Chain A
Amino acid sequence: MKHNLYRYILGIADNSLILGQRLGELCGHGPNLETDIACTNMSLDLLGQVRSYYQYAAKIKGEGASEDSIAFLRKEREYYNVLLVEQPNTDFGYTMARQFLFDVYHLLFLTELQKSSDLTLSAIATKSIKEVSYHQRFSSDWIKRLGDGTEESNTRIQTAINDLWTYTDELFYLTDADKAMVEEGIGVDVATLKDAYYKTVSEVLEEARIEIPESKYFQKGGKQGIHTEHMGYLLADMQYMQRAYPNMEW
């Protein structure tokens, strides 16, 4: 139970950590000032949520674990985020497509997590949901602006959606820890979110004049710690300071 809960919390929190890291990469590099600020604000929201999850996970783990050791000192195979969130900021279209495809899921997920019998998790969900609804508004807006914009913006956002589509199915896959937590009344049965997810996503894409990809080829692995080639680079960047200067603070 203890091990499953720990693993379950990491599964939730790692999504936010890795997506937060990706968004943070845009700090000072956004396409314009407003979107730069928006991306870093969303990153900050996600990292704030992550702190609450990891503090809770550290308490469960004991053995001197802390939010920082959990965030910065695990190996690649010990991160359980979905593959979607680790995909790079290839261009602004990819950044918004990744955000949108995750936000829709995230909001549905948190809505259910609010009902968790675990009071800490339900409190974090209730807190986060208010923030994530702003994220979804922002990313949906951009999907529509890019899709319904110029020929160039439409082509690029369509390419991004096509490429990232292959990572969407993993969102609804349950690991053993997930299943155990669903049984305890703590976890969310993500498989049940699938229909609502594709419905919302399709509605926005249609409004944005973006074609819904037909491909049924889906990739997964992140939830089991098996990541795409991008993850190692991301972690090298993210963990550098703690690895080079153990226990550093600022």
Chain B
Amino acid sequence: MVEEQQHIDEILIPILEQVSDPEIPVLSIMDMGVVRSAIIENNLVKVKITPTYSGCPAMDVIGDDIKAALKKAGYESEIELILAPAWTTDWITPRGRKALEAYGIAAPLEAEADKDVLLHGKRIVKCPQCGSTNTRLVSQFGSTACKAQFQCDDCHEPFDYFKCLK
């Protein structure tokens, strides 16, 4: 049941990279790390995806979008939602982190630093607008379950911070 390794047939990668996270459209589901395996068996693609947060309402949409993208490429597919191993923000790729920042969402810090920020109000999250770290936590919960609300005290822009999940 527990599969630590990602298994994705190479030929499917470019197809899956076209599917984006409906809540963060600049981020492909591959860069998000939610596709855990995709294997072709007799022209049927078996895909396993894992939710970022349990209540993530995007998962059903992601499943449908994967089916549609594969269908366009000539494959029928079967989507399975798996819970173990649990998704972690470590699975966001470096390219994904860049895409988040470009979109205005601060990428997750390491677990210890994340605690310093969320528990002790340390100012180290980089403002995606101006790059300042003179930022503060407004609320631990943001526009979606995976984000916290921050404000930059230099450029005064509010922004989302993608919380570390480990």
Contacts and interface: CB of A to CB of B under 8 A. Distances in A.
Interface of A: 34-35, 37-38, 41-42, 44-49, 51-52, 119-120, 122-124, 126-128, 130-131, 134, 137-138, 141
Contacts of B1: 119, 123
Nearest to A138: B140
Contacts of A48: 51, 53-56
Best-buried of B141, B143, B145, B163 by chain A (most CB within 10 Å): B141
A128 to B, nearest CB: 6
Interface in B135-150: 138-145, 149
30 contacts: A34-B139, A34-B149, A37-B143, A38-B139, A41-B141, A41-B144, A41-B145, A44-B53, A44-B57, A44-B145, A45-B53, A45-B145, A48-B51, A49-B54, A49-B55, A52-B54, A119-B1, A119-B84, A123-B1, A124-B83, A126-B83, A126-B84, A126-B86, A127-B51, A127-B86, A130-B86, A130-B165, A131-B53, A131-B54, A141-B140
B149 A44 contact: no
Nearest to B83: A123
B166 to A, nearest CB: 7
B11 interface: no
Contact of B139 (A37, A122, A124, A131): A37
A46 B1 CA distance: 23
B145 A130 contact: no
Given A45-B54, A119-B1, 17 more contacts: A38-B139, A44-B53, A44-B55, A47-B55, A48-B51, A48-B54, A48-B56, A51-B54, A119-B2, A123-B84, A126-B83, A126-B84, A126-B85, A127-B51, A127-B86, A131-B53, A131-B145
Interface of B: 1-2, 51, 53-57, 83-87, 118-119, 138-145, 149, 163, 165-166
A34 B142 CA distance: 8
B163 A134 contact: yes
A124 B166 CA distance: 15
A51 B60 CA distance: 13
Given A44-B145, A128-B54, A52 B83 contact: yes
A72 B142 CA distance: 29
B119 A137 contact: yes
A37 B142 contact: yes
A37 B86 CA distance: 24
Contacts of A44: 53, 55, 57, 145
A42 B84 contact: no
A126 B87 CA distance: 10
Nearest to B59: A48
Given A123-B84, A124-B83, A137-B118, A34 B141 contact: yes
Nearest to B148: A134
A144 B54 CA distance: 28
A225 B97 CA distance: 47
Nearest to A45: B55
Given A51-B54, A130-B165, A123 B141 contact: no
A15 to B, nearest CB: 14
Nearest to B147: A41
Nearest to B165: A130
Contacts of A42: 141
